[in-house]
Amino acid sequence: MSSDVDDGKTGRSSGWWSRRSTFTKATLIIIPLLIVGFLSFMLGDINGSSDVYDVLHDKAQAEVLNYTVLSDYSGYPVVRGEIQNRYSSAMQIDYVWVKGFNRDGDLIGMGRAQVFRGSSRIETLGPGERAYFETTDWAFDEGYGPEDVVFFGITARGNLLTPSGELCT
């Protein structure tokens, strides 16, 4: 009787598998796993390399811990909040943008916030340090005003610094 014939117990593919040596079985399992792992690594490297590039090239992001929205005397929003440097090196803060969106999710206004500690404006945050921001300076798209803002988005970005205080490149 041929070995490829179903004996009713192991089935055709099981019979084929059982005739393979341990080395062949290991090769048949490991090679596809290595190929899949390598392809996953390459795709992850392609997608993840932009994140690494952003951090190393002036796009480190400070974490926004909290914020509060008030109104000034003219009805414009005053957004106050706190940011923190979560990196292990100092960060030079470039900007904190406060974005206002309407109920459709469209960006209709932007405000640039100053960063300060106490009453002094600051430009750098050490590792783990916190600072406050506040914006009252707004620019709205034509036809929109502060009353059209339904929710806010906040972006705090800066440059990582080397231990000697130079920009990371």
Dist. CA 129–CA 127, nearest whole Å: 6
pTM for the model? 0.61
Going from N- to C-terminal start, the domains of the chain cover: 12-56, 60-160
Which amino acid, 145?
Answer: G
CATH number for the domain whose boundaries are 60-160: 2.60.40
Work out the percent of the chain whose per-residue pLDDT is above 70: 79
Structure tokens at 26: 């290991």
CB 86 within 8 A of CB 63: yes
**What is the average pLDDT score of the chain?**
80
Q: One-letter amino acid identity for 102?
A: N
| Number of neighbouring beta carbons within 10 Å of residue 159 | 19
Question: In this predicted model, what pLDDT tens digit does every residue of 1-39 receive, in sequence order?
Answer: 455 555 555 556 667 777 888 888 888 888 888 887 777
Q: What pLDDT sits at residue 42? A: 64
Cα distance between residue 148 and residue 101, in whole Å: 8
Q: Does the pLDDT of residue 73 top 90, yes or no? A: no
